[in-house]
A and B are shown apart, each in its own frame.
Chain A
């Protein structure tokens, strides 16, 4: 029973264009959502988060959108850069970020020159 789903195992985007990574969840108790980026042989690096009381959060080139009614969130990266090539994980938490996180399986983003 996968409570957080990332249905695209990989995504290829041209440098300079927008990258959109999607995530769906089933547990309506989740109230805090995070995106992490992971390079090979490194631990996940925090990118951006959003609380369920908001529908959008921006940080530089990264924007996360939350649609609670659809139980869907997305991460937009604009413009995409070569260093953005990595695996991106969506994570969720019912305790405002203080609990154990439930992760999706990840999306491998490849930025093409």
Chain B
């Protein structure tokens, strides 16, 4: 049973560019959450998708947007990249039920130059 997968593993972009990160949830999971982890910090919640809709959002600007597809996979898009967007981006999947655990992928390391 494949766990949560993310692509690409690493990415280098320049300021002002746009980036798309991808996530495939664990088999059977219908909910996908995205987190940003800066160096030396804990993961910070960006948003969560369920039934192809953004259900919950953390304190991130509109430059961060996402999408969920009918097969539950998800994309995170970041526009007008800033140096401060350099971080590890983590995707987590779960079932939409109270008490269900979020399982994380290995992350995508984004470097903005």
Given A32-B99, A49-B101, check contact A103 B44 (CB 8 Å).
Answer: yes
Q: Are B100 and A105 closer than 8 Å at their CB atoms?
A: no
Q: Which of B4, B40, B94, B105 contacts A98 (CB 8 A)?
A: B94
Q: Are A42 and B106 closer than 8 Å at their CB atoms?
A: yes
In the bound assembly, the distance between CA atoms of A95 and B33 in angstroms comes to: 14
Q: How far is the CB of B51 from chain A (nearest CB, A)?
A: 13
Q: Are A100 and B33 closer than 8 Å at their CB atoms?
A: yes
Q: Are B42 and A104 closer than 8 Å at their CB atoms?
A: yes
In the bound assembly, the distance between CA atoms of A99 and B102 in angstroms comes to: 9
In the bound assembly, the distance between CA atoms of A96 and B101 in angstroms comes to: 10
B86 within 8 A of A: no
Q: Are A89 and B33 closer than 8 Å at their CB atoms?
A: no
Given A98-B96, A106-B42, check contact A44 B31 (CB 8 Å).
Answer: no
Q: Are B42 and A98 closer than 8 Å at their CB atoms?
A: no
In the bound assembly, the distance between CA atoms of A44 and B101 in angstroms comes to: 12
Closest chain B residue to A41, Cβ basis: B106
- For the residues of B in contact with A, the DSSP-based class is loop
In the bound assembly, the distance between CA atoms of A97 and B104 in angstroms comes to: 14
Complex interface: chain A residues within 8 A of B42 (CB): 4, 6, 89, 91, 103-106
Given A43-B105, A98-B94, check contact A51 B99 (CB 8 Å).
Answer: yes
Q: How far is the CB of B30 from chain A (nearest CB, A)?
A: 11
Q: Which of B56, B94, B104 contacts A36 (CB 8 A)?
A: B104
Q: Are B104 and A45 closer than 8 Å at their CB atoms?
A: yes
Q: Are B100 and A98 closer than 8 Å at their CB atoms?
A: yes
Complex interface: chain A residues within 8 A of B105 (CB): 43
In the bound assembly, the distance between CA atoms of A105 and B37 in angstroms comes to: 10
* Apart from A41-B106, A101-B35, A103-B43: 16 A-B pairs, beta carbons within 8 A: A43-B104, A43-B105, A44-B90, A45-B104, A46-B102, A51-B99, A89-B42, A97-B98, A98-B97, A100-B48, A103-B35, A103-B44, A105-B40, A105-B41, A105-B42, A106-B42
